[in-house]
Amino acid sequence: MKKIKTFLWLWLCMTSVMPIHAAQNDAQVYRNPVIDVSVPDPTVIRAKDGYFYLYGTENIRNLPIYRSSNLVDWSFVGTAFTDETRPQWNPKGNIWAPDISYIHGKYVLHYAKSEWGGEWTCGVGVATADKPEGPFTDHGAILISKEIGVQNSIDPFYYEDGEHKYLFWGSFRGIYAIELTDDGLKIKDGARKQQVAGTFMEAVYVHKRGDYYYLFGSAGSCCEGNRSTYHVTVGRSKNLFGPYVDKQGRSLLDNHYEVLLHGNELVAGPGHHAELVTDDNGDDWMLYHGFSRNDPDAGRKVWLDKVEWIDGWPHMQGSQPSKVAARPVFDEITLADPTIFFDNGTYYLYGTSPGEGFDVYTSKDLETWTGPVGATDGMALVKGDVFGTKGFWAPQVFKRGSKYYMAYTADEQMAIAEADSPLGPFKQKKNKCFPPRCVRLTPSCSSTMMARFTSTMFASSTATASL
């Protein structure tokens, strides 16, 4: 159960994005995998809108993007590129191993462009967007293997150390770093590459904690289904460029390392993890890919597990993936377009969610809220059950007789759906907006429109509007 503290004035804020404070019940759990389709090589960022955005290698063409408010419940929101905007350099290459950052007001996506066997033609490119969901504009290649002199130049990772920006990269031919320009889009004039780890690893990630820099990576075979031997490795150093060592003081340049995570009876080949995310309890979490042993043909799904710190080193429970675990704790959840409906002693708070519909929370006192508790994955209304394909905004709920009705915006038009419960599922008998003509909303629309609903609406879940 998730409890959410908010204020009565949320009732009056119908069009804003509100932070809602939540206290996580320790008994609430999640099940792995958290994304049950193949999204290899995940990277994650918490964007300015409060949501987490995850990007992965293009098993879904043009590089998939997922969104979540809690690291557990993810919804597909689109792709970073289209066939028209996808990077054209190295035209035979696929887009692999993205890394997302926020630099000077832009979402910056470093990515690899490669094909199997193309170890001297592959390289690292960069694209930018104003919003985490894109659209992303490609700026071309930053480096190419044959030009930088590093075979298999893939798996980029961007890192800021003070005022300096760096790119780390490499895959089983050594891990390297080089300084970038202030915008992260080019190699800085005069910068020289430095090797920081040996040939045992790829998928590099740097994390600073206390006095130490931690160099994470993945070793073994990534992509052989249940035969995959991928595992997460780590070493540490007090200097960004090393020398990184294991617990015995042996150098990662000599291919020594500590094992943080390996496969088990549930998962084969866990690795290529995203940036660590710290929840509101101060716990660190790792998203990574791996094959479900009972469904290896489905590809590399996304898993989530906690990282603990013991004696200056990261640890994961049993050094292996979990099946069921306590959820991350996030005391603040972003809910857009909030509206409150009261029925039979319970308050229902609805709002635009990062998913494919509208979340709903419940309360008895307008102070402590539980949810999301909607009938379908926490949502009261789900895209696919009703009119609209995109832009689901600003729900309003009311009751007539024993039926509940939700008016909402989708596809820049207004529509209405009905349910037998305020928790949903809200559906439509006819997937259409208001007849006899649709009310189309445009960005220039600044006046308030009032609609008079006829009894026809309650019979067919459609409405006649008088403007």
Catalytic amino acids? Answer: 41, 202
Strand-pairing partners, residue 444, are none
Residues with Cβ within 8 Å of 205's Cβ and at least 6 positions away in sequence, in order, are 157, 215, 216, 217, 273, 275
Residues 6+ apart with CB under 8 A from 282: none
Tell whether the torsion through CA atoms of 325, 362, 345 and 366 is positive or negative.
positive
Q: Using an 8 Å Cβ cutoff, are 396 and 349 in contact?
A: no
Residues 6+ apart with CB under 8 A from 203: 41, 97, 155, 171, 217, 218, 271, 272, 273
Q: Which two tokens stand for residue 97?
A: 């191993």
- Could you give the angle at the alpha carbon of 422 between the alpha carbons of 395 and 456, nearest 5°? 70
Q: Which residue has the tokens 């985490």?
A: 132
- Taking residue 169's Cβ as centre, other Cβ atoms within 10 Å add up to 31
CB count, 10 Å around CB of 186? 16
- The b-or-e profile of 47-79 (16+ CB within 10 A means b, else e) is beebbbbbbbbbebebbbbbbbbbbbbbbbbbb
**Cβ–Cβ under 8 Å, residues 269 and 263:** yes
Rounded to whole angstroms, the Cα distance separating 299 from 268 reads: 11
d(CA 426, CA 389): 15
